[in-house]
Structure 1
Amino acid sequence: MSSSTRDPAAAAAHSFNKILAQPGKSTKSKRSGDVDESVKKLRRMILVEGIPSQVDATLRPRIWKILLRVDEISADTFLGYVTRGPCEVREKIRNDTFRTLATDKGFKERVREDMLVRLLDAFVWRNHDQHERSRLDFTYVQGMNVLAAPFLYTLPSEIEAFFCFAKFIEHACPLYVQPTLEGVHRGLKLLDRCLKIVDPELFAYLRSKNLSAEIYAFPSVLTLCACTPPLDQVLKLWDFLLAFGVHLNVLCVIAQLLLIREDVMSSSSPMKLLRTFPPLDAVPVIGIAVTLVRDLPVELYDELVRHPYELSGI
């Protein structure tokens, strides 16, 4: 019996590597249909098995690049931005970067503050150049430092992290990083609407305490739950969000609420509990979020899907 057969994580790593290494299908040379088929297989595996990064540390970065469709990585482009020096909002960036995931020792050991500053500076310069071609304005906004953190932690180089982060921000959740944080506020309103449907009793109790999602869920929606440790669980949750859509983070926040529902309902001051969510446990959160999708009306779920990127208002 092979070691991969005996060890489920090793078997999963083997299955992922098999999908990633299909002959003649490098990221650059894959036809669109081939990429779509590979992504479908990866999504299924992520949902059923999870990425066994402890067995093969190269898996997550390779999978993230495929899910984000990042195949053009130019060191010259990135270094061109970096050599311009501080961007116009450098001071604002530095006000946030020093406290990024400050309590996570593993993150601090792998990702230095200057790496975060460089990536965010470069992102601002990139969009300074693209301003006239884009319908949206991108600069540095609150929370962007935390959204950048998982990419710098996961990807093997700053250059790869930069291009994955840029693609993610510009395509997956552009409205979350507009100066008004429009996507975040939409997400919070949708969280209230979804909670009212999936658990009307919990929703009513929170409202009786004057607690809306804007009050208790803002950090979790703003950072796609990256503000809730531990980081290894955040990365598992992000595997799911990158595979199936960042809109599902709203349901992941509701899932975290449901996991502490009994404590919340029996507390006379639930905000004390909700001020800091319990440590993240990705597997049950993902399982509950997937189940909640079935409980939502089609029109509401459609709004949820579109809220991070579609310009027309909800």
Structure 2
Amino acid sequence: MSSGSSAAATAHSFNKILAQPKITSKSRTQPDVEESVRKIRRLILIEGIPAQADPTLRHRIWKILLRVNELPAETFLEYVARGPCEVREKIRNDTFRTLATDRGFKERVREDMLVRLLDAFVWRNHDRQETQQLGFTYVQGMNVLAAPFLYTMPSELEAFFCFAKFIEESCPLYVQPTLEGVHRGLKLLDRCLKIRSKNLCAELYAFPSVLTLCACTPPLDQVLQLWDFLLAFGVHLNVLCVIAQLLLIRDAVMASTSPMRLLRTFPPLEALPVIGIAVTLVRDLPTDLYDELVRHPYEFHG
């Protein structure tokens, strides 16, 4: 079977799961929904999302994996109508350089779209701060985490609600002012990587990759493929994906007289080998360490 016909067959398999009957249908039972999500996860792991064969698949699947079922337009428009939030200047200091070298991203996502989404997110959490254990505002790196949603979703409305759900539920500790989750992730990376290449601490070379869930490493099409995996199985696996990238260049790092220079810019991302290594690494981790890894992006210790 040719790659084109294989991608078309995979797209058909995804569409069959999505359409019989619709996953978001209120008539479906929770076990039905969970079974459909399990099938989607399995297909993502085995085949990947064939975005070229069906450009609508990725955004439909991401919304299902994030459990984004409602898109109240009036709520988003109300946030936008408020104008600049209190940290607009901080947002603008970052948005202009978001994925700046990716022409495809720049053609599809304008800076004002990023600014509008991030302003709205700050306003949303300004209103909800009394009812939440964790508060949210804009922190550096959030612009890069928002970028894949604006690129993938067909509207700013969908991008906003998917981004908000992702930040607030999947990795809330990654976007606290102290970046607590990111620093936990870096410490866990060191513990998971049993052999510290030349005693280099993860804080020195892996910070951008952990902070942005590898979205800082081009090309964007590979980042999106990696995010398919992370949204399906958990953002905690990004730590293992960073380790996988290190293992792919391990020989060069070990042979280098200046390993930090080599690690400062990771090679172009290749999602499939990285995912394959990450899945293998899961099997090798002690249960207690893996449990800690799973919880580190969201579990608040008080």
Is the shorter-chain TM-score for this pair beyond 0.5, marking a shared fold? yes
Deviations 1:216-236 (A, max 9, x none): 000000000000000000000
Pair 1:167 & 2:162 matched: no
- How many Å apart are 1:4 and its aligned residue? 9.6
TM-score (norm 2): 0.98
Give the 3 Å change call, closer, same or farther, for CA 229–189 of structure 1 in structure 2.
same
Match of 2:211 in 1: 222
| 1:302 corresponds to which of 286, 291, 298 | 291
| 1:206 corresponds to which of 188, 198, 211 | 198
> Does the CA contact (< 8 Å) of 1:255 and 1:285 recur in 2?
yes
User: Number of matched residues?
Assistant: 302
3-state SS of 2:154 partner: coil
3-state SS of 1:294 partner: helix
1:62-101 matched pairs, under 5 angstroms: 62-101=60-99
Pair 1:53 & 2:37 matched: no
Pair 1:114 & 2:103 matched: no
3-state SS of 2:44 partner: helix
Match of 1:281 in 2: 270
Match of 2:136 in 1: 138
| 1:242 corresponds to which of 227, 231, 244 | 231
In structure 1, C-alpha distance between the alignment counterparts of 2:66 and 2:278, rounded to whole Å: 21
> Does the CA contact (< 8 Å) of 1:171 and 1:309 recur in 2?
yes
In structure 2, C-alpha distance between the alignment counterparts of 1:24 and 1:263, rounded to whole Å: 49
> Does the CA contact (< 8 Å) of 2:23 and 2:36 recur in 1?
no
3-state SS of 1:53 partner: coil
- How many Å apart are 1:206 and its aligned residue? 2.6
Give the 3 Å change call, closer, same or farther, for CA 24–180 of structure 1 in structure 2.
closer
Match of 2:183 in 1: 185
3-state SS of 1:292 partner: helix
- How many Å apart are 1:35 and its aligned residue? 1.6
Unaligned runs of 5+ residues in structure 1 are: none
Structure 1 ranges of 4+ moved more than 2 A: 3-6, 23-31
- How many Å apart are 1:312 and its aligned residue? 1.8
Give the 3 Å change call, closer, same or farther, for CA 151–29 of structure 1 in structure 2.
farther
Match of 2:260 in 1: 271
3-state SS of 1:253 partner: helix
Match of 2:102 in 1: 104
> Does the CA contact (< 8 Å) of 2:100 and 2:106 recur in 1?
yes
Give the 3 Å change call, closer, same or farther, for CA 25–68 of structure 1 in structure 2.
closer
Give the 3 Å change call, closer, same or farther, for CA 258–96 of structure 1 in structure 2.
same
Give the 3 Å change call, closer, same or farther, for CA 29–72 of structure 1 in structure 2.
farther
Q: AA paired with 2:163?
A: F
> Does the CA contact (< 8 Å) of 1:27 and 1:71 recur in 2?
no
> Does the CA contact (< 8 Å) of 1:183 and 1:307 recur in 2?
yes
Identity of counterpart residues, as a percentage? Answer: 80
In structure 2, C-alpha distance between the alignment counterparts of 1:227 and 1:24, rounded to whole Å: 34
> Does the CA contact (< 8 Å) of 2:24 and 2:69 recur in 1?
no
Give the 3 Å change call, closer, same or farther, for CA 139–24 of structure 1 in structure 2.
closer
Give the 3 Å change call, closer, same or farther, for CA 6–310 of structure 1 in structure 2.
closer
In structure 2, C-alpha distance between the alignment counterparts of 1:71 and 1:120, rounded to whole Å: 21
Give the 3 Å change call, closer, same or farther, for CA 80–242 of structure 1 in structure 2.
same
In structure 2, C-alpha distance between the alignment counterparts of 1:195 and 1:128, rounded to whole Å: 39
Unaligned runs of 5+ residues in structure 2 are: none
Q: AA paired with 2:294?
A: V
Pair 1:39 & 2:28 matched: no
Q: AA paired with 1:108?
A: K
TM-score (norm 1): 0.94
Give the root-mean-square deviation of aligned CA atoms: 1.4
Deviates more, 1:280-289 or 1:5-14: 5-14
> Does the CA contact (< 8 Å) of 1:4 and 1:10 recur in 2?
no
In structure 2, C-alpha distance between the alignment counterparts of 1:87 and 1:24, rounded to whole Å: 38
